[in-house]
Amino acid sequence: MTRAIRIAPSLLSADFARLGEEVTAVIEAGADLIHFDVMDNHYVPNLTIGPLVCQAIRPHATVPIDVHLMVKPVDALIPMFAQAGAAIISFHPEASEHVDRTIQLIRSHGVKAGLVLNPATPLSVLDHVLDQLDLVLLMSVNPGFGGQSFIEGTLPKIESLRRLIDRSGRDVWLEVDGGVKVDNAQRIAAAGADTLVAGSAVFNGGAYRQAIAGIRDSAQRGQQSSKALGGPGA
């Protein structure tokens, strides 16, 4: 089965003085989602943006806002982001006292639910919750900062997760975030990812349309090559 490739530019690398314009620009350039990174200087060593900023960019976003909560504790912020316009809310299992309850809280607000796995977080955390998720986000860097290099050891983990999702028979998005660029998007998609978060690779060059198209083309080639070989990304 050929899955759609989705590109989600991360606002962490955008010009914060022109955030509404940046959102409009990347959507016009072909973005499928807007990735919205929330950091609390507690769960991760950085501090970024909150629900008011999400609400402010919502009028500019004609594609879903994909909110990634890197905060602990996480539950109190979920209703705020749902009301602010998030279409997807993802969180880290380490940030929740009760992962199942947090997933149900997200879904109770009519928002899609995702779980985020850090590079050292095992896939076994999905054993009893995959049937409730719309998205699994694999971090290919340690969370907290943009502009980091892709951790190559994430590739076999992507392959394993792709097999797990396929066995479930559910339409769960497999998102990868961290160091994604044209040079590695092909391998990431070949391993089984269908949703690629890219921050500096999109925003730092200035040519948004070219950057997004390049990542998408690379990923589609990877997906096609995997399909031809019967690999996990097929």
**Domain layout of the chain by residue ranges:** 6-229
pLDDT tens per residue across span 171-201:
999 999 999 999 999 999 999 999 999 999 9
Per-residue confidence (pLDDT) for residue 2, from 0 to 100: 73
DSSP collapsed to 3 states, 178-224: CCCCHHHHHHHHHHCCCEEEECHHHHCCCCHHHHHHHHHHHHHHHHH
pLDDT at residue 233, rounded to an integer: 67
Q: pLDDT digit string (tens) for 88-97? A: 999 999 999 9
pLDDT attached to residue 234: 64
Paired residues of 40 in beta bridges? 47
DSSP state of 176: E
SS3 15: coil
pLDDT band, very low/low/confident/very high, at 100 (cuts 50, 70, 90): very high
Residues tagged active-site: 37, 177
Task: Evaluate if residue 102 carries a pLDDT over 80.
Answer: yes
Q: Using CA atoms, how far apart are residues 73 and 43, in angstroms rounded to an integer?
A: 8
Question: pLDDT category, 14, cuts 50, 70, 90?
Answer: very high
CB-based burial label for 156 (10 Å; 0-12, 13-18, 19+): exposed
Question: Region 143-162: what's the mean pLDDT?
Answer: 91
d(CA 172, CA 90) in angstroms, rounded, equals 13
The pLDDT of residue 1 is: 60
Mean pLDDT for the chain overall: 95
* Terminal CA-CA length for the chain: 6
Assigned CATH for 6-229? 3.20.20.70
Q: What angle separates helix 182-191 from helix 154-168, to the nearest 10 degrees?
A: 40
pLDDT band at 206 (very low <50, low <70, confident <90, very high): confident
Does residue 32 contact residue 7 with C-beta atoms inside 8 Å?
Answer: yes
